[in-house]
Chain A
Amino acid sequence: MSASTLFDKVWRAHEVVAETAAAPAVLYVDLHLIHEVTSPQAFSLLKSLGLPVRRPDRTLATMDHSIPTATEQVFGGVPIKVDAAARQVATLERNAAEFGVELFAMRDARRGIVHVISPELGATQPGMTIVCGDSHTSTHGAFGALAFGIGSTEVGHVLATQALLQRKPKTLAVNVEGALQPGVTAKDLILAIIGRIGVAGGTGYVIEFRGSTIRALSMDERMTVCNMSIEAGARAGMIAPDETTFAYLEGRPRAPKGAAWERAVAHWRTLTTDPGAAFDAAASIDAATLEPMITYGTNPGMVLPIGAAIPDKRGDEIFDKALAYMGFHGGEAMLGKRVDVVFIGSCTNGRLADLEAAAQILKGRKVAPGVRLLIVPGSQQVKREAEAAGYADIFKDAGADWRESGCSMCLGMNGDTIAAGQYSVSTSNRNFEGRQGVGARTLLASPFTAAASAVRGLITDPRDMLR
């Protein structure tokens, strides 16, 4: 057989029916992740048709998007503040019970952001197809899975059939070479990639991130990179599994055990792009020259090295509109701009390595007066690990607000929002208008940059504090 890409191998292994000119492929789904916001209408569809969930054993539900992060609302004492969120939580509990789907409910020790918990359980594995009604499902591609976001109607399709109708996407190789400099993280790398290829540069493609820089990343870092594939327009991003992947998975609760583990690893080793396999498109990035990155506009492609000045593109309508929203002007330096809120968390940067980075900066330092620092772990497990490692104490000593896990201020559905006109340095993935609250102004950056900016109350190059 001719040389294949990683994507081709995973796609082919899940084709129930191959695509033809007349019809899309029927693609089998190994793992279907569910959350409270995009599933209610899908369960209603099943009910209206009298259908069961076909493979509850391949379906896993959690609560993350709209649930509270305040401990007293999660663990009792105080009711959930946002009524509609309380309704969604109750609806998912009812649907999961009725359809026999495993649910990590609000007080479950395994609960968290859907893209954080599935890897940490070992449920996300190389070579799988994974879908979820959430665009950041691309995160799971870090394990060499083909993972992408779907809409609520498709959630219904997968619940009812365990399959999806899909046209085969094209492939884009993003080759990254060179060592990241100290203080420059996987977040800076993916922001730089999006800046390079553009917010629609990956539309129609699955990205494979390749090269020595990618191979040197930890799993937490690889997840940060794949997570933001969708911000370049690509539904999925993938990284070939290797020893780093296997070491991460071994011993996780849902990873294979014993002889099954050996067989699985032997198979996973075949999940690499063959030498000579052709991609439909390619891009290259030199990682060694990258600096900490920060966004200045209203999409993740409007991004700069932190020491740079905002470009002056007056007359360009997108640019003018974005800068008017942000209250910035072309030619201004980003360093030293005022910060009101700092948010550290989300499925992009809410894992232990991210909190460790924040702790490195915050240790022995204080949040600047008047600045609010909200730190939200990606899962309850991350929360426990961060507490055991002493990071939580560092955060609290610094004056940060330390919460239960969830999406929180990444999208502000649960009441964790930023006021109109305020500036937020956020480790999340979207700086769209209003994403973190009506009129909120979001600056995307790494956990290092976010923590350093919280300490000074100004946009700060974290390398100043890491030396």
Chain B
Amino acid sequence: MTPVRSIRSRTVVIASSNIDTDQIIPARFLTTTTKDGLGRNLFADWRYREDGAPNPDFVLNRAESHGAAILVAGPNFGCGSSREHAPWALLDHGIRAVISTEIADIFRGNSLKNGLVPVIVDAAAAKWLIEHPGVEVTIDVGAGRLELPNGSTAPFPLEAFARHCLMNGVDELGYLRSQLGDIERFEAAHA
């Protein structure tokens, strides 16, 4: 995993609440056996019209959204299905962090494992971001701080281990495998 220390980018805002992983990547696109190319179908049912043409009203299709790497979303983002295809699709599209007041548990865990930063902020910061789409913000992973262009900052929680993994590009599997001695002893004791 590539280390993620800070992200500076414009935001793209989808303010809806309860955006579930079926919206992020509908089930009919889960028939892949790799992680590649999922970005094309990110938010497919909102992004494309029935004839397959881009829906010009959907924010991701607007010119000003191109290159924006930070998604600001309403509360309870990523609820529903555990599909890791959701963070894969976001990352494949170029999104590197999601800011919301509330991010669903499984999605949050899946994001961290792929270097997509879940940024949980208070209602005031979220409201400001929703009211000012497209602003350039900085996510400082080390400090657990979101810096807004109005000069204010918002702290966000990131537990020590997750921060360490993100900042050093640590893959959790390597860490888990370093515990195999303990796992074997546990198995022997419980056999």
Indicate if A74 sits at the interface (CB-CB under 8 A): no
Q: Across the interface, do A432 and B28 meet the contact criterion of CB distance under 8 Å?
A: no
Q: Across the interface, do A435 and B27 meet the contact criterion of CB distance under 8 Å?
A: yes
Tell me the bound Cα distance from A204 to B161 in angstroms. Answer: 18
- What's the minimum C-beta distance from B168 to chain A, rounded to whole angstroms? 14
The residue that A161 contacts in the complex, of B27, B34, B87, B177, with Cβ under 8 A, is B177
Q: Across the interface, do B106 and A135 meet the contact criterion of CB distance under 8 Å?
A: yes
Indicate if B155 sits at the interface (CB-CB under 8 A): no
Q: Across the interface, do A413 and B34 meet the contact criterion of CB distance under 8 Å?
A: no
Indicate if A154 sits at the interface (CB-CB under 8 A): yes
Q: Across the interface, do B23 and A44 meet the contact criterion of CB distance under 8 Å?
A: no
> Chain B contacts of A157 at CB under 8 A?
172-173, 176
> Chain A contacts of B187 at CB under 8 A?
28, 162
Indicate if B83 sits at the interface (CB-CB under 8 A): yes
> Chain B contacts of A66 at CB under 8 A?
30-31
Q: Across the interface, do B26 and A434 meet the contact criterion of CB distance under 8 Å?
A: yes
Q: Across the interface, do A38 and B82 meet the contact criterion of CB distance under 8 Å?
A: yes
- What's the minimum C-beta distance from A195 to chain B, rounded to whole angstroms? 14
Q: Across the interface, do B106 and A411 meet the contact criterion of CB distance under 8 Å?
A: no
Tell me the bound Cα distance from A23 to B159 in angstroms. Answer: 8
Q: How many residues from A make CB contacts under 8 Å with B? A: 64
* Given A151-B106, A199-B76, CB of A87 within 8 Å of CB of B172: no
- Give the interface residue-count category, chain B: 35 or more
* Given A153-B84, A200-B79, CB of A299 within 8 Å of CB of B18: yes
> Quick check: which of A14-22, A110-118, A288-296 contacts chain B, the rest being far away?
A14-22
> Chain B contacts of A32 at CB under 8 A?
none
Indicate if B136 sits at the interface (CB-CB under 8 A): no
Tell me the bound Cα distance from A454 to B41 in angstroms. Answer: 34
Tell me the bound Cα distance from A354 to B154 in angstroms. Answer: 49
A-B residue pairs in contact (CB < 8 Å), sample of 28: A24-B159, A26-B182, A26-B183, A38-B82, A40-B33, A87-B31, A134-B81, A134-B82, A149-B82, A150-B106, A151-B87, A151-B113, A152-B84, A153-B110, A154-B110, A160-B173, A161-B180, A162-B183, A163-B176, A163-B183, A165-B172, A199-B76, A199-B79, A299-B79, A413-B30, A434-B22, A434-B26, A438-B26
